[in-house]
Amino acid sequence: MVQETHLRVSDLIAPLFVHPGTEPQIPVASLLGVVRWSVEGLVSECAALKALGVPAVALFPVTPPERKNPEGSEALNPDNLVCRAVRAVKQAVPDLVVITDVALDPYTEHGHDGVLDPKTGDVDNDATVALLSEMSVVQARAGSDWVAPSDMMDGRVAAIRGALDAAGLIRTVILAYSAKFASAFYGPFRDAVGSQSAAGRVYLDKRTYQLNPANAREALKDALMDEAEGADVLMVKPAGPYLDVIRDLRAATRLPIAAYQVSGEYAALHAAAERGWLDLEAARHEALLGIKRAGADLILTYSARAMAEALRAR
């Protein structure tokens, strides 16, 4: 009766990887229990998640190397992998909310979230925003319910909202990665989607466009700029190391807040549990409850299915 915070299945969003082959599941070595799904396998998993009460999934494609180039032009292909996956999922599980990632890193040879300026080697903000706007329209036309720009380019939310509205896609929600930090916790994700291969094991430096982990006030400023530009939901990523940012943002906005328990957070819990150092189920619940307590309305977590099963069993 007096418990202040409750974690519910309806709070969870499941990030899912999809690969272009026919093998139903390909394990991700750095993420225990996580797989890359074929489109057919993805549809089955989405149906199972919906049956458990998980309301939404976020899709991340594994683009074949031969379809990558410096401009990430495969992102604009209306028959690319993520668009095919969206159409298949929406046909099979129409009531499930499907979220698609809007960033170029799965499609570029260099693994950055945008196109590079040939003179400086840095990401060209304005040229990237133009591509992201087109990409959002392509995904929404395929059936994506929410588009989620994760690139951290300046001005991209306003540009995407304008492009969607001009295309008649006024009901498409924008889930903005508004406070995305240049974090060391993204490594397993980059392995899973293959956006790290161009740079080998040296992790790409994205500090010219992602946030400095030391800067909470800057994160709040960026998030409120996204709100002013028309974002429908604001996200903080990663979640666990940035609970203070979630709390500050909760006090500053009335919009829904999402938080992403990222691959490194998930992998750390599982690695410790595998060695017998943690009770996985208890630690997993506590970590997610802490994110909810800080002020998140929605939580993206690779533990969504396991957590949903555990909550349903209580």
Question: What DSSP state is assigned to residue 3?
Answer: -
Active site residue 180: yes
Q: Is residue 2 part of a domain?
A: no
- Mean pLDDT, residues 38-46: 98
Measured distance CA(239)–CA(18) in Å, rounded: 23
Structure confidence by residue, pLDDT tens digits, 50-108: 999 999 999 999 999 899 998 899 999 999 999 999 999 999 999 999 999 999 988 98
Q: Is residue 1 part of a domain?
A: no
Q: How many CA atoms lie within 13 A of 254 on its CB side?
A: 0
Measured distance CA(205)–CA(122) in Å, rounded: 10
Q: Is residue 38 part of a domain?
A: yes
Q: Is residue 4 part of a domain?
A: no
Q: Is residue 132 part of a domain?
A: yes
Tokens of 310: 């555990």
Q: Is residue 3 part of a domain?
A: no
- Mean pLDDT, residues 11-19: 97
What CATH number does residue 278 fall under?
3.20.20.70
Q: Which of 50, 90, 206, 237 is catalytic?
A: 237
Q: Which of 50, 68, 180, 206 is catalytic?
A: 180
**Reported pTM:** 0.94
Q: Work out how many domains the chain is built from and give that number.
A: 1
Which residues, other chains included, contact 302 with Cβ-Cβ below 8 Å and sequence gap of 6+? 14, 15, 31, 33, 34, 261, 263, 266
Check residue 195 and give its pLDDT.
Answer: 56
Structure confidence by residue, pLDDT tens digits, 210-241: 899 999 999 999 999 999 999 999 999 999 99
What range does the domain containing 105 cover?
A: 9-313
Q: Is residue 288 part of a domain?
A: yes
Contact 85/39 with Cβ under 8 angstroms? yes
